[in-house]
């Protein structure tokens, strides 16, 4: 290249630089195209995490409402939960479509299957988001289990109170004066509400 005349050398050098810049732009475009699904997945994970945290807050509020016995508050919280669950289901459909584009299989891969396909900082961020989401989901399951126990206890208490308040139905069948009615009902009267149901 030193044997070239100076004007030709400048043109040659500028042509090489231009080609290198085009190659960098092309590589950057390819990298961006490869990163786009990862960035979309991370955005979906972030929205999932936000909605699940909101659902967790609602579950804690539901615990307080159940302890107070506030039925109106409970109905409002259930409506809010249904709205959040519908939004989560929509996000899950979007996630399934996104990860299906990464797979040739008929069954879309799970999030754990997609993480190795993400590179660099995006992978660390996606793993962190997935870990946080899993923690929130586990906590949400525990709070929902507690709420379920509170509801079951409330129903048992209501059933017990109804059994205590309901008068015993009079026996309309004839029985001999010395014969006990216990043999037919086995000593237990039936209420209008079956507590086993």
Using alpha carbons, select from 132, 114, 105, 175 the residue that is nearest to residue 46.
132
At 157, which CATH number?
Answer: 1.20.58.300
188 within a domain of the structure (yes/no): no
For 44, the enclosing helix (H) or strand (E) is helix 6-68
10 within a domain of the structure (yes/no): no
47 within a domain of the structure (yes/no): yes
193 within a domain of the structure (yes/no): no
Please state the domain count of the chain.
1
* pLDDT tens over the chain, length 197 residues: 455 555 555 555 666 666 665 555 444 444 556 677 788 888 999 999 999 999 999 999 999 999 998 989 999 999 999 999 999 999 999 988 888 877 766 776 777 777 777 777 888 888 899 899 999 999 999 999 999 998 898 888 888 888 778 777 766 776 677 765 555 444 455 555 555 54
Q: How far apart are the first and last CA of the chain?
A: 93
Range of the domain at 91: 35-165
26 within a domain of the structure (yes/no): no
Q: Tokens 């195209």, residue? A: 33
């Amino acid at each position: 290249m030193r044997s070239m005349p100076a004007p030709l050398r400048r043109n040659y050098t500028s042509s090489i630089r231009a080609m290198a810049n085009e190659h960098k732009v092309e590589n950057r475009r390819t990298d961006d195209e490869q990163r786009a699904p990862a960035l979309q997945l991370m955005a979906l994970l972030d929205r999932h995490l936000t909605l699940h945290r909101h659902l967790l807050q609602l579950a804690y509020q539901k615990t307080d409402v159940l302890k107070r016995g506030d039925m109106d508050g409970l109905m409002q919280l259930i409506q809010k939960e249904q709205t959040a669950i519908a939004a989560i289901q929509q996000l899950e459909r979007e996630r399934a479509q996104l990860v299906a584009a990464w797979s040739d299989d008929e069954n879309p891969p799970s999030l754990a299957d997609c993480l190795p396909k993400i590179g660099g900082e995006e992978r660390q961020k996606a793993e962190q988001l997935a870990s946080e989401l899993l923690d929130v989901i586990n906590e949400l399951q525990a709070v929902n289990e507690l709420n379920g126990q509170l509801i079951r206890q409330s129903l048992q208490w209501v059933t017990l109170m109804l059994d205590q308040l309901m008068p015993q139905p009079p026996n309309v069948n004839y029985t001999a004066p010395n014969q006990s009615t216990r043999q037919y009902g086995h000593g237990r009267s039936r209420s209008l509400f079956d507590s086993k149901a």
